[in-house]
Amino acid sequence: MFFFLLFIPIILRLIIITVYKAFLLGRINNRQLFVKIESKKWYPQYRMKEDFIILSDSPIIELSNKFKFIDRNEFLKLTLFHDIQKTDQDIIDNTIQAYNSHAEIIDQINTPPWKVRERDLFLYRLHKENQTSLLEIGAGTGKDSLYFQQNGLKVTAIDISEEMVRLCKAKGISEVHCIDVREMNFPPSCFDAVYTLNCLFHIPKTEMNSVLRKIRRILKPNGLLYFGVIGGKNREEVWKQDIFEPQRFFSFYSDNKIKKLVKKYFILEDFYTMDIGMDKLHYQAMILRKREGEFM
């Protein structure tokens, strides 16, 4: 009898776990499950799935799929085991659709003075160093590419949006390609400079290292990269305040994080920030240089 009493807490615990599992399974079937994930790690690959909703930077996510249960430290941890293929590509596809839909509107907007100043300063530096060839990544409707071309540079413009590329070509940019920066395959060391303003914040953090390596590869030794993005906090999200439809994905870095990231691949010659009227965010501008004697 005494030994039986010793097993009562274990039996009760098993009963509670079984009932709890049944309750959760019922909620899964009703597509109403909220799961506490023990790790506070982000799961950006879930972000664009209809069945997945990230709530701010909280480790609480809404799920509705098949799960297996693992007991650990008295928590019931759920592990997804369904096939999850539509991840970062969903993010990119939505971004392409957003820019295709709004290309004509964007083209009618006057370039703000701070952007004009940024390209002027970079052009001055390029002329000072006798740099002549430039790649613009995320050229948009081609306003900056046209400016650089009219000021004596041999310009190649790339954008992932077909409509943006069409508007670039209409402006007379000498070389324009519809290319995903993640897949660009220009020859090594073929550009004196690369210019990218408010483009690479659409790249998921899982792919940013690869993109920076590709940019370093196509720059000539001692070549310059102007890298400008909005940031100031560490976050990846579909921006709920976005007026575009579908709403775009953004990947933000704190000042320290973005500096640490780029220093892995380039010499950081200048870093500064600007208030551009965005709550809790600011513009991050970087002048980067490929190391002398580095060919890849």
Q: What is the pLDDT of residues 78-106, one digit of tens each?
A: 333 333 334 567 778 888 999 999 999 99
- CATH classification of the domain holding 266: 3.40.50.150
User: In terms of domains, do 163 and 206 share one?
Assistant: yes
How far is residue 231 CA from its own chain's centroid? Answer: 11
Would 50 be classed as within a structural domain?
Answer: yes
User: In terms of domains, do 139 and 69 share one?
Assistant: no
pLDDT of 90: 79
Measured CA to CA, the distance from residue 91 to residue 68 in angstroms comes to 27
Q: What is the DSSP letter of 37?
A: -
Q: Hey, what amino acid is at 281?
A: L
What domain range is 107 assigned to? 88-289
Would 294 be classed as within a structural domain?
Answer: no
pTM score, whole prediction:
0.72
Measured CA to CA, the distance from residue 162 to residue 180 in angstroms comes to 11
User: In terms of domains, do 219 and 274 share one?
Assistant: yes
pLDDT of 279: 81
Q: What is the DSSP letter of 118?
A: H
Would 242 be classed as within a structural domain?
Answer: yes
Q: What is the total count of domains within the chain?
A: 2
Could you tell me the two tokens for 277?
A: 């009227």
User: In terms of domains, do 196 and 280 share one?
Assistant: yes
Helix (H) or strand (E) holding 104, with range, is helix 88-108
User: In terms of domains, do 58 and 8 share one?
Assistant: yes
The pLDDT profile of the chain, 296 residues, written as one tens digit per residue, is: 555 556 666 666 666 655 554 444 443 333 333 333 333 333 333 333 333 333 333 333 334 343 333 333 332 333 333 333 345 677 788 889 999 999 999 999 999 999 999 999 999 999 999 999 999 999 999 999 999 999 999 999 999 999 999 999 999 999 999 999 999 999 999 999 999 999 999 999 999 999 999 999 999 999 999 999 999 999 988 888 888 989 899 999 999 999 999 999 999 999 999 999 888 899 999 999 999 766 56
User: In terms of domains, do 23 and 58 share one?
Assistant: yes
Could you tell me the two tokens for 9?
A: 């807490």
3-state helix, strand, coil in the chain (%, to 5): 40, 25, 35
Please calculate the CA angle 179-207-125 and round it to the nearest 5 degrees: 65
User: In terms of domains, do 69 and 100 share one?
Assistant: no
Contacts of 175 (CB under 8 A, 6+ apart): 155, 156, 157
Would 40 be classed as within a structural domain?
Answer: yes
Domain boundary residue among 47, 80, 113? 80
Q: Hey, what amino acid is at 156?
A: T
